[in-house]
Amino acid sequence: GYDFIIQGMAGMMSITGAPGGEPQKAGVAISDITTGLFAATAILAALHERAQSGQGQYIDMAQTEAALHFLPRAASAYLETGTVPGARGNYDETMAPHGVLPAAGTDRWVAIAVRGDHEGQRLCRHVPLVARTACTRPWRVVPRIAYCVPGPLRTLSVLAVTAFTWSASQWARICVVSP
């Protein structure tokens, strides 16, 4: 019941949701679940110690600490730059294009995530001509952003045109790949 409050205290809600929007909680009770998983691990460690030494162990779990484990990028960014990260929606600073687009059909969506040259080139080879127009120059990688000229947001908007006309199964045939 209090997972919602813990997510807010840990800072998770400040980076979840659309940029400029109100803070959002994760779709599941993530700190409740994580605290339970950490507690199970601690119990196993305590049982192991008891088997080895005969001594019991004191276990103390904090939901806020468990929730902080989901913030490595945000915490690192703050510690490195002093900047408080905000919500980014589906944007990812290490991948582009990166987002969820509506596909043809009812209630169908496609998630696009591209990291690096090989994935970007493959995507540009397989999407139809309307989307390939954004990929007329070589796929480029610059620090922290991979993009298909003229930039990640333009590429995603061009892919959106394709997404509206392709079904989710058409996207799946070309886009479900392992790195």
Compute the average pLDDT of residues 85-91.
82
Please determine, for residue 175, whether its predicted confidence score (pLDDT) is greater than 70: no
Residue 109's pLDDT is 77
Judged by DSSP in three states, 167 sits in: strand
For residues 88 and 115, give the distance between their C-alpha atoms in angstroms, rounded to a whole number.
Answer: 17
Instruction: Return the CA Rg of the chain.
Output: 21
For residues 52 and 82, give the distance between their C-alpha atoms in angstroms, rounded to a whole number.
Answer: 45
Tokens of 164: 């509206």
Element (H, E) at 60: none
Give Cα separations from 79 to 37, 46, 76, 83, 147 (angstroms): 27, 33, 5, 8, 27
**Portion of the chain with pLDDT greater than 90, in percent:** 31
Q: In the chain, what's the furthest Cα-to-Cα distance? A: 69
**Residue 60 annotated to the active site:** no
Pair 59, 42: CB distance under 8 Å: yes
Catalytic residue among 3, 32, 60, 92: 32
Q: What is the pLDDT of residues 19-60, one digit of tens each?
A: 888 999 998 999 999 999 999 999 999 999 999 999 999 999
Q: What is the dihedral of CA 9, 15, 19, 23, to 10 degrees?
A: -30
Q: What is the pLDDT of residues 136-163, one digit of tens each?
A: 444 443 333 333 333 444 455 556 555 6
